[in-house]
Structure 1
Amino acid sequence: MRQSLFGKNAAITGAASGIGWASAKAMLESGATVVLVDRDAGALERVCKDYDKAKPLVMDLLDSDACKMLMPQIISLIEGPLDIFHANAGLYIGGDLVDSDPDMIDRMLHLNINVVMKNVRDVIRHMAPQKTGDIIVTSSLAAHFPTPWEPVYASSKWAIDCFVQTTRRQIFKDGLRIGSVSPGPVITSLLDDWPEEQLEAAKASGSLVEASEIAEIILFMLTRPRGMTIRDVVVMPTNFDL
């Protein structure tokens, strides 16, 4: 792969699996040093072992005190400033609202919205003085239309999509870019809640995309000329409606 990010420092949350790991792998193979943030120490060890520039950081972002230390810990693991931040960590709840556990609703909304906002706030405070930097947020196709089978999850992504678009208008004056990638169904652990027959049917019909394909789009967003911001990329399988 072309070394398009050589010399850059990046950090990715939820980086031990799924889109987070695909994004980290793509950035590593493009020459970046990458801090991989995840609460799963074992998974981080497995994915980082073959990459000299991979820096594991075990952290539970739902722990408020730990979350406050994200940026200082990232900076301690890299040489120089942070150039790229990918806010990817998230949870999923599907099904009817009346069947959803209230504690899980709180947990998901906290990680999908509050943690993203707090992390991005701290990253902006670091990046703004250097007058350059890129922030990517993992959103969802569910942010763009009312999805009847996942009202809680979709609501979290509608909120974060608004956050990205409004924050962009505050930070472009500092030379910073922020954008979101909004995939349709991706083959990751977030689909574990899907009924097995629905998942198998979707795979058979080509109605799912691979995490590596989302990572390619993220690299595209990061490597545009500085005068261009890709604010939101909506990605869906061609056969999504089948």
Structure 2
Amino acid sequence: MAESLDGKIAVITGAASGIGLATTEALLAEGATVVMVDWNEASLNELAGRLGEKAIPQVTNLLDAQSCAAMIPQILEKVDHIDILYCNAGTYIGGDITETTSEAIDKMLNLNVNAVIKNVHDVVPHMTARKTGDIIVTCSVAGHYPTYWEPVYASSKWAVTCFVQTMRRQMIPHGVRVGQVSPGPVVSALLADWPEENLRKAKESGSLIDPSEVADAVVYMLTRKRTVTIRDMLVLPTNFDRV
């Protein structure tokens, strides 16, 4: 039987678009308060105004070390506790290793891996002191299969899988659940970096899913009774046949 999220306080990174926005809307519909974290202040303010008083904007640049470090303390000045941290922000690099740059690699690893680890590091003392909490991270099917057409991105998601599953075990004695959701290709801004031919074929074959499908999976994970942890949920388009 599903447990209620009414009254829970969630933090979602990358909340101004895509999976983050869809999950924000889904959790608000479940009665939660959502702190929406993103770097885009104008977009955050517009969305918070539309979504209502339970949507709280938090402007953070996860690629800036000081801004990233200040995120959890600043959020705890706005709300009195955090029940849920959903580390969703990320970026994408596709194609052969030679088709990218060192700068792009640094940016992607800093956002996809380092920021996740730092955000979790910063929230864990708060959650362990309360002896409860949920941490979820957006991974990818690419974190489970050697997707040779996107080796840099896949490597970041394999790192995320390792971090989440080691943290899951570390947090068991503290009452904090840790898991990941691993979507296949999602209709989002990240697909702008896909090779045009791959994107065209995926759209034509129905091999993409909507962000709301991932949000539904996150809600399912969060509403299990506390004695149950969904350690990972793969959400794939039915017609996705590349793995």
Category of TM-score, reference length = shorter chain: over 0.9
CA deviation after TM superposition for structure 1 residue 164, in Å: 0.4
How far apart in 2 are the matches of 1:202 and 1:150? 15
State the 1:197 CA deviation. 3.5
Q: Distance in 1 between matches of 2:128 and 2:160?
A: 21
In 2, Cα distance between equivalents of 1:224 and 1:5: 10
The answer for the alignment partner of 1:68 in structure 2 is 69
Aligned mates of 2:39, 2:183 — CA distance in 1 = 23
Is residue 202 from structure 1 mapped to residue 202 from structure 2 by the alignment? yes
Correspondences of 1:1-242 after superposition (within 5 Å): 4-50=4-50, 51-78=52-79, 80-241=80-241
Identity percentage of aligned residues: 56
C-alpha separation between the residues in 2 aligned to 1:17 and 1:49? 15
The CA deviation at 1:200 is 2.7
Contact 2:3 2:225 in 1 (8 A): no
Gap runs ≥5 in structure 1: none
**How far is 1:149 from its partner?**
1.0
**Aligned to 1:233, what secondary structure does the other structure show?**
strand
Distance 1:93 1:48 in 2: 30
Q: Residue deviations 1:147-204, cap 9 Å, x none?
A: 0111000000000100000011111100000000000000000000113332232122
1:92-139 CA-to-partner distances (Å, cap 9, x unmatched) read 101110121101101110111111001001111110011110001000
The alpha carbon displacement at 1:91 in A equals 1.0
Instruction: State the number of aligned residues.
Output: 240
CA distance in 1, matches of 2:114, 2:193: 23
Distance 1:15 1:139 in 2: 16
In structure 2, the residue corresponding to 1:69 is in which secondary structure? Answer: helix
Q: Which amino acid aligns with 1:68?
A: A
Provide the rounded CA distance (Å) in 2 between the counterparts of 1:221 and 1:110: 26
Equivalent position amino acid for 1:204 in 2: E
Return the TM-score normalized by structure 1: 0.96
Which secondary structure does the structure 2 equivalent of 1:237 belong to?
Answer: coil
- Alpha-carbon displacement from aligned partner over 1:34-89 (angstroms, at most 9, x marks no partner): 100000112212222122200001110111011111111111111x3100000011
Give the alignment's TM-score, normalised by structure 2.
0.96
Segments ≥4 residues shifted beyond 4 Å = none
Are the structure 2 counterparts of residues 94 and 65 from structure 1 closer, same or farther at C-alpha, using a change threshold of 3 Å? Answer: same
The one-letter code matched in structure 1 to 2:126 is: H
- How many Å separate the matches in 2 of 1:142 and 1:196? 19
Cα displacement (A) at 1:3: 9.5
